[in-house]
Structure 1
Amino acid sequence: MRQAIADAAVRPRDADALVAHATSTPRSDLAEINAIGRQNASLVVRHPAR
């Protein structure tokens, strides 16, 4: 993710949206949301478990 941001020559805070596409398993979803949060915590929207 850091490399993609660097390649795009943007700052994480410049992002308005992020399209995530993990494998929809609890483990991969958690890894993906943690990676997103490390880059820009404001992009992480926390929802209560259903």
Structure 2
Amino acid sequence: MEWSDVRIFLTVARSGTLGSAARALHLSHPTIGRHLSRPPARLCSRERRMVSY
């Protein structure tokens, strides 16, 4: 997971809507949506090893 994704997720959670998060981050609404719809499979290999047996 990239830090920019964490920042976007946190801003959406705090602001309550994609539109207000987009304005706060100076990004477009579709860009925010794309970042949030990325699959969680982007975890680093260390994190994957921790959850797999």
What is the TM-score when the length of structure 2 is the normalising length?
0.31
Structure number with higher helix proportion: 2
Higher Cα Rg, which structure = 2
What is the TM-score when the length of structure 1 is the normalising length?
0.32
